[in-house]
Structure 1
């Protein structure tokens, strides 16, 4: 696992697949995690936090942006180790708890070989253990991390995907609804691509300076402008009828 400082109060943990974030809360209120990485990463995450001066009990919240196991895989173990409450979108919570099976993605033709390749690469990774969800999040919910954190419902990648908008510092955690892999684009392997695109546009309209993605490098400074330009390109592609044919 690699640790990268994104802002003075945000660090990114990069795993074999995907990434998560540690956020130092304002006013000495502790720490939060946004996603937890693949199963088996609780040790590296706790070690990285210790290197940042955070004790396990300092972790207050674990927010899961959606139910895919590269984001929830270490959630149960980290919740047990830290005592943190776990928060997730209401529609995804039953899957995270293990009460419902994970709905399969609706793949575009070009995604099929990519999906098969990713699945093959993760064949030896154990499944995520069911994790309790202490609070089910809905659109407009507000968390207090020493600054307002507004929950933004961004369905499409999964039904219950959520983004987090730190309104004072202008930070956006997009989960997998937006990726920054070679270019800004909607995330892949969605349950509803058109909903994902609508969620992309919704996030692009926010007042954002820093954007942190589930996959790809964060954008620090000018993120809002970059997201809006990418959203305009999506609109143009849709009008040309090319949205569904290429990433």
Structure 2
């Protein structure tokens, strides 16, 4: 795996179909998303390569319940003995209930059939903490949870104001060099409203569940987001 340092203390772990992120500071390590099922060994190896022992992992945060993001949560949570945190409206689906399917546009239908062809279902995973809008997690001098429904009912983003960092989950994606509304939404109109909330933030770095991060004046790039799959 080619681990990418986004900024000091924040690393992107590219896991094929999706991204996970590792945040590390004096308070310990946080893993944001876990990739598809079977990503556990690669993530464990990445933490070792970064010099971050299992004992320093404090929490796993899931931006939403989809299999390519929550797929290895159960494995990693058991391995490290750490709590799993998810948006309250998505928590039942992380635990194993059937979640609502995306409302595909014609363009998305064809694309999803290709990118998700080999994606296995995520094993059920306990959720130890359900979060809602404006909750604060103890990482990066305080990470503000933002409720961004639309991609899924309980999608969340993390805003780290002091670091100028935004982790958007799948509400926003990078695609072919541009910033776009993330595809495969349960409610496209609601997802766009959530995107508008995120692009209004004054952030320097934006990290997405899919694609490369924007580093430097990210707020300007985010405000040019488009919806090419609509």
TM-score normalized by the length of structure 1 = 0.89
Determine if the alignment matches structure 1 residue 130 to structure 2 residue 124: yes
Which residue of the other structure, out of 61, 65, 68, is the alignment partner of 1:67? 65
2:82 counterpart (81, 84, 92): 84
Tell me the residue number matched to 2:139.
145
Q: 2:186 aligns with which of 184, 191, 196?
A: 191
CA distance in 1, matches of 2:229, 2:71: 29
SS of structure 2 residue aligned to 1:185: strand
After TM superposition, list the pairs within 5 Å mapping 1:22-37 onto structure 2: 22-25=22-25, 28-37=26-35
Q: Distance in 2 between matches of 1:225 and 1:57?
A: 38
Over aligned residues, Cα RMSD in angstroms? Answer: 1.3
Contact 2:179-2:224 at 8 Å conserved across structures: no
Shift of 1:146: 4.6
Corresponding residue to 1:41 among 24, 39, 42: 39
Match of 1:103 in 2: 100
Residue 216 of structure 2: which of 221, 230, 233 is its match? 221
Q: Is the 8 A contact 1:57 1:84 kept in 2?
A: no
Unmatched 5+ residue regions in structure 1?
Answer: 235-242
Structure 2 unaligned blocks of 5 or more? none
**More helix as a share of residues:** 1
Structure-1 separation of matches of 2:182 and 2:73: 22
**Displaced runs of 4 or more, over 6 A:** none
Give the greater-gyration-radius structure (CA).
Answer: 1
